């Protein structure tokens, strides 16, 4: 066999991705904030692209535009009395809270509850909505919601996620290590004291004037509005790209048309400039910019249509979740959606990455609804892994004596959920729940 170099012709097929296709793929996976920035750069670079203000329509409208009706990006005003230097971090309270949620809460189910509670946080740092209503809306146990709230009450700054002023001050005193029985009594009687009953309070609880004055002084040093030191909330940090609303017995899926600017291709301007251009290089440049502008409009249209199709299919498959709660979250994979709407799995994965939908049950990342399934025994129904984890956690939360993984598997089997002990172990460990032996030790410590 000869080792000498030689020339040969070989025929084969190779897939090459064009620049325009690469850009289209990029648009699919871009979250809203980054897409807005991308469009702003494109408008700046391309003289044939413009952003139309819906309140101030231009005389020169393009001859051909996309059917998309994007509205202008909101312009926000902090107010004359706001000074950004008062806030060292330059963050909103919501941004600060979300960082802590993703850092401290790893359980997927608890994080979902936490994100919904973050949506309800007032600018002062309070939760004003009734917890029972929130639990019903999310389809979770009240005890479970309370556990997540108590966890979030340990977030910075001290005092946030309180339900009233007394609880806000209590959390701050607790953080300072000053909370004792005297302060508890004071906080329980805040209304009495504020309405002029200080003398009655001191006499009833045998508190000296000097001690009372010091306690009031310490209370006044606390911040009754712990969220006020942050930038006022100017926009939703995780702006939903999809809205889901209930209309009678149906769930209606709509795109959020308020988050992207309305992009136009001004063909009339192109025609006028083209007439005055004699240099071939300049003509080529104009043609290239027109082609790029047309492509961008089509790519945005395709992105919107893809997002709507995927969201509609997700809602169609998970309607029981919105009607009856997390126990009815059905197993669903990217492949299921791909087959249903005839789109490649990679496109589904990209369009659901970092995209959120606002629903009657709260704000969810679109990928939240994807989970593997566990087959039911003597039934055609499957159960999502998220639902199984929720049931396992609920059993452990309500156990009188620590249940072994084998006992949990048997209990699930009685509910027609056929799941192996090793799978229970895997799910329990993913929830950061210790073994039954360790739980038993902790119970007696």
Number of other CB atoms surrounding residue 54 within 10 Å: 11
- Using a 10 angstrom Cβ sphere, with 0-12 exposed, 13-18 middle and 19 or more buried, the burial of residue 383 is buried
Q: What is the pLDDT of residues 323-344, one digit of tens each?
A: 777 767 777 888 888 888 888 8
**pTM assigned to the model:** 0.48
Cα–Cα separations (whole angstroms), residue 268 to 55, 60, 70, 278, 298: 21, 7, 21, 18, 19
Query: For the chain, what are the domain ranges?
Result: 25-57+240-315+329-351, 86-234, 373-444
For residues 38 and 11, which has the higher predicted lDDT (pLDDT)?
Answer: 38
State the CATH architecture for 373-444: Orthogonal Bundle (1.10)
Q: What is the pLDDT of residues 285-338, one digit of tens each?
A: 888 888 888 888 888 888 888 899 998 998 888 888 887 777 677 778 888 888
Closest CA to 397 of 109, 199, 45, 194: 109
Model confidence at 250: pLDDT above 70: yes
Q: What is the pLDDT of residues 61-74, one digit of tens each?
A: 333 322 222 222 22
Place of tokens 């702006």: 239
Q: What is the pLDDT of residues 381-433, one digit of tens each?
A: 456 677 788 888 888 888 888 888 888 888 888 877 777 888 888 888 877 78
Instruction: State the pLDDT at residue 11.
Output: 63
Q: What percentage of the chain carries pLDDT values higher than 70?
A: 79
Average pLDDT, the chain: 76
Instruction: State the pLDDT at residue 63.
Output: 32
Task: Compute the distance between CA of residue 399 and CA of residue 444 in angstroms, rounded to an integer.
Answer: 14
Model confidence at 443: pLDDT above 80: no
Instruction: State the pLDDT at residue 82.
Output: 33
Instruction: State the pLDDT at residue 229.
Output: 79
Model confidence at 376: pLDDT above 50: no
Model confidence at 76: pLDDT above 60: no
Model confidence at 217: pLDDT above 70: yes
For residues 52 and 340, which has the higher predicted lDDT (pLDDT)?
Answer: 340
- Using a 10 angstrom Cβ sphere, with 0-12 exposed, 13-18 middle and 19 or more buried, the burial of residue 295 is middle
């Amino acid at each position: 066999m000869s080792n000498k170099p030689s020339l040969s012709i070989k025929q084969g097929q190779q897939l090459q991705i064009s620049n325009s296709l690469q850009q289209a793929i990029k648009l699919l996976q871009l979250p809203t904030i980054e897409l807005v920035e991308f469009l702003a750069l494109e408008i700046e670079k391309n003289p044939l692209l413009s952003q139309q203000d819906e309140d101030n329509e231009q005389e020169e409208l393009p001859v051909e535009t996309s059917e998309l009706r994007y509205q202008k990006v909101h312009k926000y005003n902090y107010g004359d009395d706001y000074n950004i230097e008062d806030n060292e971090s330059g963050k909103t309270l919501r941004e600060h809270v979300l960082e802590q949620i993703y850092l401290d809460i790893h359980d997927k189910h608890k994080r979902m509850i936490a994100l919904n509670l973050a949506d309800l946080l007032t600018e002062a740092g309070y939760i004003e909505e009734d917890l029972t209503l929130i639990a019903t809306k999310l389809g979770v146990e009240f005890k479970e919601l309370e556990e997540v709230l108590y966890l979030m009450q340990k977030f910075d700054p001290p005092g946030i996620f309180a339900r009233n002023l007394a609880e806000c001050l209590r959390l701050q005193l607790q953080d300072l290590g000053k909370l004792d029985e005297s302060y508890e009594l004071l906080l329980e009687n805040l209304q009495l004291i504020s309405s002029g009953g200080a003398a009655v309070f001191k006499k009833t609880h045998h508190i000296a004037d000097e001690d009372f004055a010091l306690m009031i002084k310490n209370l006044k040093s606390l911040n009754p509005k712990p969220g006020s030191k942050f930038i006022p909330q100017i926009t939703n940090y995780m702006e939903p790209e999809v809205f889901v609303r209930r209309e009678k017995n149906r769930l209606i899926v709509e795109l959020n048309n308020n988050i992207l600017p309305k992009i136009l291709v001004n063909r009339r301007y192109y025609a006028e400039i083209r007439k005055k251009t004699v240099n071939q290089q300049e003509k080529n440049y104009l043609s290239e910019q027109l082609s790029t502008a047309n492509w961008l409009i089509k790519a945005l249209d395709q992105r919107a249509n893809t997002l709507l199709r995927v969201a509609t299919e997700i809602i169609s498959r998970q309607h029981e979740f919105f009607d009856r709660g997390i126990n009815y979250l059905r197993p669903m994979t990217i492949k299921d959606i791909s087959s249903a709407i005839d789109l490649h799995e990679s496109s589904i994965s990209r369009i659901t990455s970092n995209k959120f939908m606002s629903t009657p049950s709260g704000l969810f990342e679109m990928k939240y609804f994807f989970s593997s399934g566990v087959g039911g025994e003597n039934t055609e129904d499957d159960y999502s892994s998220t639902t199984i984890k929720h049931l396992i956690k609920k059993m452990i939360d309500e156990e009188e004596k620590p249940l072994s993984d084998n006992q949990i598997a048997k209990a699930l089997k009685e509910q027609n959920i056929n799941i192996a002990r090793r799978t229970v172990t895997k799910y329990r460990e993913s929830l950061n729940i210790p073994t039954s032996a360790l739980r038993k030790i902790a119970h007696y410590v």
